[in-house]
Amino acid sequence: MTVTTIMNTAQMDAIAARHPHLLQGSTSKRIRSILIFAGIGLYMIYSWWFFSIGQVLVNANWGIAGTYLADWVSYEVRPDIKIANDGTMQVVYPRYSPLGPDAKPEWVKIETKMMDRTIDVPAVTQQAAPKKSSSFSFMAPNAAVGGSAEAGARTETRTEEVVSRATVNFNSTTSIAIADGKVAATHAGETLLIDLDHSAGVTPEGTLPEWATQKRPGEKVTLAFGMTGWADVDKEKISIHNRFPGWANFIFDTNSPFFNKSFGEVTSLIVSGERLDPSRSNLSLAWNNILYNSEWQHLDVWTKLLQTIVMAFVGTLFASIIAFPLCFLAARNITRNGVLNQVIKRFFDFLRSVDMLIWALFFTRAFGPGPLAGMSAIFFTDTGTLGKLYAEALENIDDKQREGVKSVGAAPLAVQRFGVLPQVLPVFASQALYFWESNTRSATIIGAVGAGGIGLKLWEAMRTNSDWENVCYMVILILIVVFIFDSASNFLRSRLMGQKTH
Amino acid sequence: MATSALSTTLSDNGAVVERHWQELNLRRRTYTFLGLALLAVALSGSLWFANATNAGKFFDRLPYFFDFVGDLVPRDGAEIGRAMFDLPSPYDDGSLKYNYPEGRMYLTDSIYVPEYFYKMLETLNIAIFSTIFGMFFGFILCFFAARNLMPNPWVRGLARRVMEILRAFPEVVIAGFFLAILSLGPIPAMIAVSIHTVGALGKLFFEVVENADMKPDEGLRAAGGNWFERVWFGIVPQVLPNFMSYFLLRLEINVRASTIIGAVGGGGIGEPLRLSISQGHEAKTLAIIILLFSTIIAVDQFSAWLRRRLVGDQAFQLAQ
C-alpha cells in the first residue's frame, strides 16, 4: 500500500505528460492575465501623464502640509515683539489671540525699566482729523494734512516703562532672548546670535545652523524649531509662533467670564458663586457661553451634524416608503404586465442615474440651502436604488408560500400580505437600514454643495486654511456618528436577517 | 362539522397553546406598534427640525419644487447639441450663457474635444484611476484583516480599524486638505476617492476571503507552503472573480463620487455642472446632465454585464 503512494520523479513526470491540461493552465488564460495586468499598467502610466501627477506632486507645497496637519491637533500663540528705533521693545498679542485680551504667559519673560524716550507725536492727533468721507475733493484734505504736519509734527520726551529684555522659552531646550538689538536663539544645544540694525538689517553672527534660514543678507531670518514652533526675526519685529498641543479654548472662549478658570473654579462658581450676570444663573450663563463659543461654535456644529443625520434618516425613510408599493408593480412575478414593469424599472433607473449631486443642486435652488434640499436629493436617488433592489428581492422570492396562500382562496392583497411580505420584509428593512447608514456618510458630501448639514460647515472651515482644528473637531464628530450608526445598523440587520448578513 | 367541533372544544393542552399564541401575538403587535410610533415621532421631529433650520420654509418653497424642470428648457432644442459639442450659438450675446465654443480642447489645429466630453473623460479617469489604486491597497490589506489567514488578533484588529477609518473619513475633508496643498485640479479628488476606496474595498475583500474555501490552503500548508504562497496560490485564485466584481461595483460608485467631489473643486464635470445650474444656463445644464446620465448608465450596464460573466447571479446580491 505505502509503496504505491510514494512516487519517484519519473512517475511524476509520466503523470504530468499524460495530463498536461491539468498541470499547465491554458496558454490563452495565461496570456489573458498578462494582458490584463499590462493593460492596467499602461492605463496607470497614461493617467499619470493625463493628470501630470508627477509634476503636481513635485510642485506641491509640502512644507505647508505639515503646518496644516499640526493645526489639526495643536494651536499657535503668536506674540510679536516690536523693536522701536531706540532699541526699546513692546510685546504685542494679536486681537484674537487664544490667550485672551491681556495675556501674560509664563513662557514670555520680560524685564522692564523706566526710560526717557523721545517720541514723534504725529501731527494729526493734534487737530481735528480730516474727514475721510468728504466726497467733493480728495485734494483738499491732503493739502490740509500736508500743511498741518509741518506745523504740528514735533517730538516729545516722556518717561515710560519699556521692555528692555524679552525671553521667549519655547521649551527646555529652545528659547529666544532679545535685548539691546541682539537676538540669541538657542535650539538643540546650539546658540545663534543675530544683530538687528535699522540700516544694516538682520545679520546673523557666524554660520547659520540647520534650523535657521535667511534668503538674502540683511533680510529676515526664519528660525524653525519643528513641532515647538517657529519665529521670524526681522529688524523691527520678531514674530513668535509658539505651538502648543491640544485645542485652545475649546469650552469657553476668551470673552467668557469663565475663561482661563480651572475646572474647580468653574464648578464652584456654578454651584455656589455669585451671579456673574444678574439676569440669569451661572449655570445657564456657562452653558450659553459653551454653546456660543465664538471659536468652536458648538451649537452650530451640533445643529449642522443633526441636520446631516436627519437628512439621511428622512430621505431614506421616505425613499423606502415610496419604493415599497412601486416595487410590487416593478416585479414581473407579482404584476404580470410587462409594459408596466419596464416603465417602473426604467423610472427607478432614471432616479438612480441622475446623480444625487444633480438632485442636490436642483433642490438647493428650490428650497434654498438647508437640510430640505439634501433630504429631497437623498429621497429621489434612493427611491430609485431601493426600488430596484426591492424589485430584485421580490423577483427572487420562493413561490411556494404564495401558491399555498392562493390555494386556500385568499384575495390578491392577502396573497401579497401573507405569501410575499413575510419573505421580503426583513430584506427590505435590512436594505433600508444599510442605505440609511451609507447616506449618513454621503449626506456629508452633498452638504458641501449647499444641501445643508455639516458638509458646508466643513467646507467653509477648510476654505480659510486656518481653522483645521475645527475641521478635526467636526471630523471626529462625524466619525463617532458614523461608527454609532454603523454598529446600530449592523446590529439591527443581523437581528433581522439572522447570522447571514455580514 | 369537524371544523366547528375543533374550534369550539379545545383540550386543556390546546387551550394553553392557544393562550400562549395569543400572548405572543399581542406582545409582537405591541412591539410593532411601539416601533412604528417611535418611528413616527422621530420622523415628525426630524421634519420639524429640518424645516426650522432650512433657509426656505417647506410650504413656502413647495410651489418652486419643480422649478428645476424650467431650468432645463433651452431656447430651442438644437441649443443642447451646440452646448454639448461646443458649436457657436445664434443667440450668442457675449455672456457666459452662450459661450459654447470656449473651452474647446484642441488636439490639432482643427480637431477638438468638446469641453464637456473632456471633463467627463476626466471624471471617468479619476474614478478608474482611484478604483485601481484603491483596489491595489485594499487587496494587500484584506489578507491581514481576514480571520482565517491572520491568526494574530492585533494585526487583524489594526488592519480592520485602519480600513474602517479610511472608509468613514469624510471624502470632502481629504479633498479639501489636498486642495489646500496641491491647489485646484483633479488630484485631490483622486486622493480622496482612492483613500475611501481602500477602506470600502478592503472590507468587502476580507469578507470574501473569510468565506473562501480553506481546503486549498490546507493542502499548501501540508506541502510546506509559507504564508505568501498559501495566500497567492490557495486563496487568490478563488476570490479573484469576486474581487473583480466588487471592483466594478466600486467603479460605478466612484464615477458618482468623483462627480460630486468635482463639484466642490476637484476637477472634472462636477464643477461646470454646479456652475451652470446655479447660474441658470439651461442648455449647458441639460447637455451636461445628458452626458453624465448616459455615462453613468453605460458604466453601470458594462459593469453589470462583466460582473454577470465573472460571478454569475451572485453579483446582484446587496453589495455593501
CB contact under 8 A, B49 and A44: no
Q: Which residues of chain B are within 8 Å of residue A470 when distances are taken between CB atoms?
A: none
**Cα–Cα distance between A145 and A158 in angstroms, integer?**
25
Tell me which residue of A347, A343, A340, A375 sits closest to A359, measured CA to CA.
A375
Please tell me the predicted confidence (pLDDT) of residue A152: 53
Identify which has the larger pLDDT, B219 or A262.
Answer: B219
Q: CB atoms < 10 A from the CB of B247, how many?
A: 23
**Cα–Cα distance between A319 and A434 in angstroms, integer?**
13
Q: Strand pairing partners for A238? A: A81, A233
Q: Which residues of chain B are within 8 Å of residue A478 when distances are taken between CB atoms?
A: 168, 170
Whether residue B177 sits in one domain with residue B43? no
Whether residue B151 sits in one domain with residue B34? no
Residue pLDDT, tens place only, B77-111: 788 888 888 888 887 777 777 787 877 878 877 88
Q: Which residue of B has its CA nearest to A59?
A: B182
Q: How far is B92 from chain A (nearest CA, A)?
A: 25
Please tell me the predicted confidence (pLDDT) of residue B129: 93
For all residues of chain A together, what is the average pLDDT?
Answer: 82
Tell me which residue of A385, A362, A384 sits closest to A373, measured CA to CA.
A362
Residue pLDDT, tens place only, B7-27: 567 788 888 999 999 999 999
B264-299 b/e (C-beta count within 10 Å ≥ 16 → b)? bbbbbbbbbbbbbbeeebbbbbbbbbebbbebbeeb
Q: How far is B48 from chain A (nearest CA, A)?
A: 10
Instruction: Give the angle subtended at the CA of A28 by the CAs of A24 and A34, to the nearest 5°.
Output: 95
Whether residue B120 sits in one domain with residue B47? no
CB contact under 8 A, A362 and B71: yes
A281-313 b/e (C-beta count within 10 Å ≥ 16 → b)? ebeebbeebbeebebbbbeebebbbbbbbbbbb
Amino acid of residue A348: F
Among partner residues A353, A356, A369, which is closest to B293 by beta-carbon distance?
A353
In a domain, B167, yes or no: yes
Pick among A71, A306, A362, A431 to test the B interface (most B CBs inside 10 A): A362
Whether residue B251 sits in one domain with residue B139? yes
Mapped onto helix, strand or coil, the DSSP state of residue B189 is: helix
Q: Strand pairing partners for A241? A: A230
**How many residues in total does chain B contain?**
320
CB contact under 8 A, A361 and B273: yes
Percentage of residues of chain B with pLDDT beyond 90: 28
| Least reliable range by pLDDT among A108-112, B28-32, B200-204 | A108-112
Tell me which residue of B98, B125, B138 sits closest to B247, measured CA to CA.
B138
Q: Which residues of chain B are within 8 Å of residue A371 when distances are taken between CB atoms?
A: 49-50, 53-54
**Cα–Cα distance between A192 and B57 in angstroms, integer?**
64
In a domain, B104, yes or no: no
Q: Which residues of chain B are within 8 Å of residue A462 when distances are taken between CB atoms?
A: 173, 176-177, 179-180
Residue A168: exposed, middle, or buried by beta-carbon count in 10 A (0-12, 13-18, 19+)?
buried
Please tell me the predicted confidence (pLDDT) of residue A319: 95
Q: How many CA atoms lie within 13 A of A230 on its CB side?
A: 14
Pick among A53, A358, A396 to test the B interface (most B CBs inside 10 A): A358
Mapped onto helix, strand or coil, the DSSP state of residue B224 is: coil
Residue pLDDT, tens place only, A306-321: 999 999 999 999 999 9
List the alpha helices (DSSP H) in A51-129: 53-59, 62-73
Confidence of residue B314 (pLDDT cuts 50, 70, 90): low
Among partner residues A361, A368, A441, which is closest to B54 by beta-carbon distance?
A368
**Cα–Cα distance between B131 and B250 in angstroms, integer?**
7
Q: Strand pairing partners for A202? A: A196, A218
Pairing between β-strand A174-179 and β-strand A201-204 as defined by DSSP bridges: unpaired
**Cα–Cα distance between A330 and A392 in angstroms, integer?**
9
Q: CB atoms < 10 A from the CB of A501, how many?
A: 18
Please tell me the predicted confidence (pLDDT) of residue B141: 92
Q: How far is B61 from chain A (nearest CA, A)?
A: 6
CB A254 within 8 A of CB A93: no
In a domain, B285, yes or no: yes
Tell me which residue of B129, B110, B89 sits closest to B287, measured CA to CA.
B89
Q: Which residue of B has its CA nearest to A471?
A: B173
Tell me which residue of B84, B71, B296 sits closest to A351, measured CA to CA.
B296
What mean pLDDT comes out for the span A101-120? 77
Angle between helices B12-53 and A298-330 (to 10 degrees): 120
Does the ipTM exceed 0.95? no
Note the Cα A222 to chain centre separation in Å: 29
Confidence of residue B193 (pLDDT cuts 50, 70, 90): very high
Q: CB atoms < 10 A from the CB of A338, how many?
A: 9
CB contact under 8 A, B170 and A475: yes
Contacts of A253 (CB under 8 A, 6+ apart): A259, A289, A293, A294, A295, A296
**Cα–Cα distance between A45 and B281 in angstroms, integer?**
37
Whether residue B306 sits in one domain with residue B188? yes
Whether residue B129 sits in one domain with residue B20? no
Please tell me the predicted confidence (pLDDT) of residue B8: 65
CB contact under 8 A, A363 and B49: no
CB B206 within 8 A of CB B140: no
CB B285 within 8 A of CB B269: no
**Cα–Cα distance between A60 and B169 in angstroms, integer?**
23
Please tell me the predicted confidence (pLDDT) of residue A142: 43
Instruction: Give the angle subtended at the CA of A468 by the CAs of A465 and A469, to the nearest 5°.
Output: 150
| Least reliable range by pLDDT among A430-434, A486-490, B107-111, B210-214 | B107-111
Percentage of residues of chain A with pLDDT beyond 90: 15
Among partner residues B53, B168, B261, which is closest to A441 by beta-carbon distance?
B168
Helix H or strand E segment including A23: helix A20-23
Amino acid of residue A120: D
Cell numbers for B226, please give them: 509559507
Q: Strand pairing partners for A120? A: A155
Tell me which residue of A300, A275, A302, A301 sits closest to A286, measured CA to CA.
A275
Cell numbers for B275, please give them: 456652475
**Cα–Cα distance between A428 and A324 in angstroms, integer?**
8
- How many domains does chain B divide into? 2
CB contact under 8 A, B39 and A317: yes
Identify which has the larger pLDDT, A375 or A27.
Answer: A375
Percentage of residues of chain B with pLDDT beyond 70: 95
Q: Which of B5, B22, B53 delimits the end of a domain?
A: B53
Amino acid of residue A337: N
**Cα–Cα distance between A436 and A315 in angstroms, integer?**
8
In a domain, B177, yes or no: yes
Q: Which residues of chain B are within 8 Å of residue A389 when distances are taken between CB atoms?
A: 318
Pairing between β-strand B105-106 and β-strand A237-245 as defined by DSSP bridges: unpaired
Identify which has the larger pLDDT, B79 or B37.
Answer: B37
**Cα–Cα distance between A34 and A27 in angstroms, integer?**
11
Note the Cα A380 to chain centre separation in Å: 28
CB B116 within 8 A of CB B285: no
Strand boundaries in A293-396, DSSP class E: none
Q: How far is A55 from chain B (nearest CA, A)?
A: 10
CB contact under 8 A, A448 and B172: yes
Q: What is the set of domains in chain A, with CATH numbers?
A: 74-245 (no CATH), 298-500 (1.10.3720.10)
Whether residue B27 sits in one domain with residue B148? no
In a domain, B288, yes or no: yes
What mean pLDDT comes out for the span A230-257? 85
Q: CB atoms < 10 A from the CB of A271, how many?
A: 9
CATH number at residue B164: 1.10.3720.10
Whether residue B128 sits in one domain with residue B277? yes
In a domain, B120, yes or no: yes
CB A471 within 8 A of CB A406: no
Is the alpha carbon torsion for A486, A491, A492, A498 positive or negative? positive
Among partner residues B54, B185, B256, which is closest to A367 by beta-carbon distance?
B54
Cell numbers for B161, please give them: 480599524
Please tell me the predicted confidence (pLDDT) of residue B2: 47
Residue pLDDT, tens place only, A337-385: 889 999 999 899 889 888 888 888 888 888 888 888 899 999 999 999 9
**Cα–Cα distance between B303 and B127 in angstroms, integer?**
13
Whether residue B309 sits in one domain with residue B203? yes
Identify which has the larger pLDDT, A93 or B311.
Answer: A93
Q: Which residue of A has its CA nearest to B270?
A: A357
Q: Which residue of A has its CA nearest to B41?
A: A314
The size of the A-B interface in CB pairs under 8 A is 191
Q: How far is B50 from chain A (nearest CA, A)?
A: 6
Please tell me the predicted confidence (pLDDT) of residue B266: 76
Unique residue bearing C-alpha cell 487587496: B139
Pick among B193, B259, B264, B290 to test the A interface (most A CBs inside 10 A): B264
CB contact under 8 A, A47 and B129: yes
In a domain, B29, yes or no: yes
**Cα–Cα distance between A21 and A367 in angstroms, integer?**
66
Note the Cα A313 to chain centre separation in Å: 23
Please tell me the predicted confidence (pLDDT) of residue A5: 64
Residue pLDDT, tens place only, A115-166: 777 766 665 544 444 444 433 434 444 444 444 444 455 677 777 777 888 8
Confidence of residue A4 (pLDDT cuts 50, 70, 90): low
Amino acid of residue B319: A
Residue pLDDT, tens place only, B299-310: 888 888 888 888
Q: Which residues of chain A are within 8 Å of residue B185 when distances are taken between CB atoms?
A: 51, 56
Backbone Cα Rg of chain B: 28
CB contact under 8 A, B260 and A479: no
Confidence of residue A58 (pLDDT cuts 50, 70, 90): confident
Please tell me the predicted confidence (pLDDT) of residue B276: 87
Percentage of residues of chain A with pLDDT beyond 70: 90
Unique residue bearing C-alpha cell 472573480: B241
In a domain, B134, yes or no: yes
Amino acid of residue A285: L
CA distances from B190 to A39, A66, A461, B175 (A): 20, 20, 21, 8
Q: Strand pairing partners for A92? A: A80
- Domain span including residue B125: 113-316
Angle between helices B236-261 and B282-311 (to 10 degrees): 170
Tell me which residue of A355, A289, A313 sits closest to A453, measured CA to CA.
A313
Mapped onto helix, strand or coil, the DSSP state of residue A82 is: strand
**Cα–Cα distance between A321 and B40 in angstroms, integer?**
13
Mapped onto helix, strand or coil, the DSSP state of residue B268 is: coil
CB contact under 8 A, A449 and B263: yes
